[in-house]
Copies of this chain bind each other. A is one copy, B any other.
Amino acid sequence: MAGSTIETLPSPAAEYIRDIDRALEAYLDDRNDYPGQLLEAMRYSLMAGGKRLRPLLVLLSAKVCGSDPRAAMPAACAIEMIHTYSLIHDDLPAMDDDDMRRGKPSCHAAFGESTAILAGDALLTLAFEVMAKDIQPPATAAACCVALASAAGAANMVGGQVDDLAQESAGADADRSLEMLESIHRRKTGAMLTTSLQLGGLVAGASQQKIEQLDNYGRNLGLAFQIVDDLLDCQGDESQLGKRTQKDSERGKLTFPSLMGVEASRERAAGLITRATDAARSLGEGAEPLVALAEFVLNRNR
């Protein structure tokens, strides 16, 4: 499966991704009440060809828990909006200072820094509006808002980014342990992936046992995803990735390959994916798309 892209995933993933793109577009259609420049920046980043991994996990999780995946679409869109805002803010000059993202100028490079900050703020806010308004019943909407806010907030995604930046600026004083690296990734990217699965389960009214199996799948998938990300940064093809590679090592950033070597990182990722696919299979019938997605995460080249 080397060289696979997410579009080559077996049914229903590819169809779901098209549905997600359409639903995201629709949330920004006819928003004459948004300033034009702001709307353009929000759309530019939201429709910039992301992998849609998180919203896909929401829909696949809802489906495997017995729900019509369309019922989970607002939650899928919400988590992609939050993911997009986090990329816009992470790319800012005061943060990772990246001028390229997905093969195009990053949001602040295209629209200026103030518009990029505000487009991020607006997408973060819109995520909660969409979920609180469009997930039914309202009690499920409230539960989804709590889960998403917890994953995106200071205890997880934002907190992980703070510690990631702090590690970088600490230089020789940095805590270069595997524990710190895993703690950063569990919060910075892992929590959003496990929460994607949880949101699907919440919409489907899944049992606590199913939610725990999904969480087990998500934790293993999330860490493998990050290890592969680090491997792609040190070995990937810039033109396929659509962003500069070798950034991590230039910055002396803590990564899995720098800490445990390329070969051991690969093995670790493969082991985690085996655990993820085992957890997916324990969910019973209908879990094949989650298994295929885990294999994609291991073999992706962008």
Enumerate chain A interface residues (CB-CB to B < 8 A).
Answer: 31, 33-35, 37-39, 42, 85, 89, 92, 94-95, 112-115, 117-118, 120-122, 124-126, 128-129, 131-133, 137-139, 141-143, 145-146, 149-150, 152-155, 158-159, 161-163, 165-166
CA distance A150 to B129 in the complex (A): 7
With A35-B154, A158-B38 known as contacts, the answer to whether A117 contacts B92 (CB < 8 A) is: yes
Identify the closest chain B residue to A129 (Cβ).
Answer: B149
Indicate which residue in B94, B121, B155 contacts A124 across the interface (CB closer than 8 Å): B121
Beta-carbon nearest neighbor of A137 in chain B:
B139
Main secondary structure of the interface of A (DSSP, over half): helix
A19 to B142 alpha-carbon distance, docked (Å)? 25
Measured between beta carbons, the chain B residues less than 8 angstroms from A92 are 114, 117
Please give the distance in Å from A179's CB to the nearest CB on chain B: 15
Whether A153 lies near B165 (C-beta < 8 A) is no
Q: Roughly how many angstroms separate A39 CA and B162 CA in the complex, as a whole number?
A: 11
Pair A33/B122 contact, Cβ less than 8 Å: no
A202–chain B nearest beta-carbon distance, Å: 12
- Assuming A162-B35, A166-B35, is B149 touching A138 (CB within 8 A)? no
Separation of A149 and B143 alpha carbons in the complex (Å): 16
Given that A114-B94, A149-B126 are known contacts, is A121 also in contact with B158, CB under 8 Å in the complex? yes
Counting every copy of the chain, the complex holds 2
B121/A33 in contact, CB under 8 A: no
Does B149 contact A118, Cβ atoms closer than 8 Å?
no
B118/A34 in contact, CB under 8 A = no
A122 in complex: contacting residue of B85, B131, B154, CB < 8 Å: B154
* Structural contact, A162 and B117, CB atoms closer than 8 A: no
7 residue pairs from A and B, CB less than 8 Å apart: A34-B154, A38-B162, A89-B118, A121-B124, A129-B149, A138-B143, A145-B145
**Which are the 4 A-B pairs with shortest beta-carbon distances?**
A129-B149, A132-B145, A94-B113, A138-B139
**Residues of B contacting A166 with CB < 8 Å?**
35, 37
Given contacts A113-B94, A142-B142, A154-B42, contact A149 B132 (CB under 8 A): yes
In the complex, are the beta carbons of A129 and B145 less than 8 A apart? yes
Asked if B125 and A158 make an inter-chain contact with CB atoms under 8 angstroms apart, the answer reads yes
A152-B121 Cα distance, complex, nearest whole Å = 9
A85 to B122, CA, bound (A): 12
